[in-house]
């Protein structure tokens, strides 16, 4: 089942949606930015609860790109920041790339390590959802990165295989990243893993 619709170039994936958010609220929010064609907001077949993501189709590619630029990481509904991006970003085949939360935090990187090197290393474990994101902490003294996998199976394996391993001249430390806006909650919890199972059931993501 292709929930992205037949027009992936004009369709946006909306993620990290609180279960209290209604389809009507999404419509009222996004219609303020651009006219839209339709909204697909999947429900669990048994519980009939929303699954935390939606697909919104617009009339033109330009409209979709503009809305993604305006709305991604800028709007909070019920204390959750919406993730908004093109439905086929980073995947030429058109297969939806869903942010399931398989996000690792890597620290103590050698100064010579770059994104390409991290991609080569971590993609040996499993498929990456997007390129590694390198950043610095402690006033530029601590080099770190975020690694995004498409499944928890792969992120779990990377954590097991690569944590405390030598990369270049330094021993790297790996853990699940903290959730955005949460000081004590990390990705990889039971809720995210259940959402991954549901998404896989409905063919929203694939291994």
Q: Which domains does the chain have, with CATH numbers?
A: 8-86 (3.30.70.330), 103-201 (3.30.70.330)
| 206, 126 contact by CB (below 8 A) | no
The reported pLDDT for the residue numbered 48 is 66
Which residue, among 30, 25, 117, 119, has the nearest Cα to 72 in the 3D structure?
30
Neighbouring residues of 151: CB distance < 8 A, sequence distance ≥ 6? 100, 102, 126, 127, 196, 205, 207
Neighbouring residues of 120: CB distance < 8 A, sequence distance ≥ 6? none
What is the percent of the chain where pLDDT is above 90?
48
The reported pLDDT for the residue numbered 91 is 45
Torsion of CA 153, 113, 167, 178, to 10 degrees: -40
pLDDT digits (tens, 9 = 90+) for 53-80: 889 999 999 999 999 999 998 999 988 8
Pairing of β 103-107 and β 173-176:
antiparallel
The reported pLDDT for the residue numbered 154 is 95
Q: Given a cut of 70, is residue 192 above it in pLDDT?
A: yes
pLDDT digits (tens, 9 = 90+) for 34-46: 999 999 887 766 6
| 12, 84 contact by CB (below 8 A) | yes
| Mean pLDDT for all residues in the chain | 84
pTM of the model: 0.55
């Amino acid at each position: 089942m292709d929930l992205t619709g037949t027009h992936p170039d004009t369709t946006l994936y909306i993620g990290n949606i609180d279960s209290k958010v209604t389809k009507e609220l999404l419509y009222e929010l996004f219609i303020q930015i651009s006219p839209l064609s339709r909204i697909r907001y999947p429900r669990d077949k048994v519980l009939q609860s929303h699954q935390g993501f939606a697909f919104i189709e617009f009339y033109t590619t330009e409209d979709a790109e503009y809305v993604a630029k305006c709305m991604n990481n800028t709007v909070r509904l019920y204390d959750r920041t919406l993730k908004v991006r093109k439905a086929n970003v980073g995947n030429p085949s058109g297969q939806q790339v869903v942010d399931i939360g398989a996000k690792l935090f890597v620290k103590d990187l050698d100064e010579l390590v770059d994104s390409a090197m991290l991609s080569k290393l971590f993609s040996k474990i499993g498929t990456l959802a997007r390129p590694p994101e390198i950043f610095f902490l402690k006033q530029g003294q601590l080099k770190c990165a975020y690694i995004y996998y498409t499944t928890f199976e792969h992120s779990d394996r990377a954590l097991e295989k690569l944590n405390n391993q030598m990369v270049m001249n330094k021993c790297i430390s790996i853990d699940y990243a903290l959730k955005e806006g949460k000081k004590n909650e990390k990705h990889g919890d039971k809720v995210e893993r259940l959402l991954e199972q549901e998404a896989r059931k409905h063919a929203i993501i694939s291994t």
